[in-house]
Amino acid sequence: MTEHRARKRFGQNFLQDHGIINRIVRSIRPGEHEHLLEIGPGQGAITEEILRSGCQLDVIELDRDLVPILQGKFGALPNFHLHQGDALRFDFSEIAKDKPLRVVGNLPYNISTPLIFHLLSQHELISDMHFMLQKEVVDRLAADPGSKAWGRLGIMAQYYCRVESLFDVPPEAFTPRPKVQSAIVRLVPHKELPHPVDDVELLQRVLREAFNQRRKTLRNNLKPLISAEQLEAIGINPGERPEKLSLADFVAITQVVANNPIDEAN
């Protein structure tokens, strides 16, 4: 096998535990007639197992040095398509032409949050996602309202998707070993959003303000956007902390804020 030295700046921690690789691919269950996209194939640990299903597989890898390794291993397969580039800038509509995409990846942890937001913004093209992430990020994605992990990331993920934490993966499964525990998460975009808002950007702004200082009350954090009286009018206690609110509560707040004049100085 061609030697490749893992690069920290690309978040490279390669999977080496075949038991874990097989367990991930069994959770994904790629079907022969499906179209998958793998983000960050690295040296092809998961790629190889996915390709066995005969599905159509596009992969997007940022590190140019991995391109000849991947092409050497899989380039002859007609169902394999490699894109060299940045997944954060990738327009998924280019490849999701006739079928919804199933997106998978052992993601580079340094960009996992912006990448998830980028994918959520294209949720209509995606039928499901399976990712390896830092366990702490999986806990935030799958968090319940009222818990410590509940915040902007989990609320936005659950706005668009059903989120399921599948299993944990220890550092020993990788080379080099990451300093943190990892976990596998499944996100399935809702066919119809259970709590739609008219303006998603405004929901994001409400969440940013609400969780700006977690120890402060909603009355304080949301002062620039909504009054305490308006919160009370929709049944929300202005003295509550942000993590006590549900997604539906934040959606209700956003719909009121949409009709308020916004003070841009704040």
**DSSP per position, 17-50:** -HHHHHHHHHHH---TT-EEEEE--TTTHHHHHH
Is residue 58 close enough to count as binding ligand SAM by CB under 6 A?
no
- How many chain residues are in contact with ligand SAM, going by CB under 6 A? 23
Q: What is the dihedral of CA 113, 46, 104, 63, to 10 degrees?
A: 50
Rounded Cα distance, 57 and 40, in Å: 13
Is residue 12 close enough to count as binding ligand SAM by CB under 6 A?
yes
Rounded Cα distance, 22 and 50, in Å: 9
Closest approach of ligand SAM to the CB of residue 149, in Å? 22
Helix (H) or strand (E) run with residue 210 in it = helix 200-210
Among residues 151 and 171, whose Cβ is nearest to ligand SAM? 171
Is residue 119 close enough to count as binding ligand SAM by CB under 6 A?
no
Q: Which stretch binds ligand SAM (CB under 6 A): 11-19, 182-190, 230-238, 255-263?
A: 11-19
Is residue 108 close enough to count as binding ligand SAM by CB under 6 A?
yes
Q: Which stretch binds ligand SAM (CB under 6 A): 56-64, 136-144, 152-160, 161-169?
A: 56-64
Tokens linked to 206: 């409400």
Q: Collapse the DSSP code of 92 into the 3-class scheme (helix H, G, I; strand E, B; otherwise coil) and give the result.
A: helix
**CB contact at 8 A, 163 and 154:** yes
Is residue 10 close enough to count as binding ligand SAM by CB under 6 A?
yes
Q: Which stretch binds ligand SAM (CB under 6 A): 48-56, 59-67, 74-82, 116-124?
A: 59-67
Is residue 142 close enough to count as binding ligand SAM by CB under 6 A?
no
Is residue 106 close enough to count as binding ligand SAM by CB under 6 A?
yes
**CB contact at 8 A, 10 and 62:** yes
Q: Which residues bind ligand SAM (CB under 6 A)?
A: 10-15, 39-42, 45-46, 60-63, 66, 86-88, 106, 108, 111
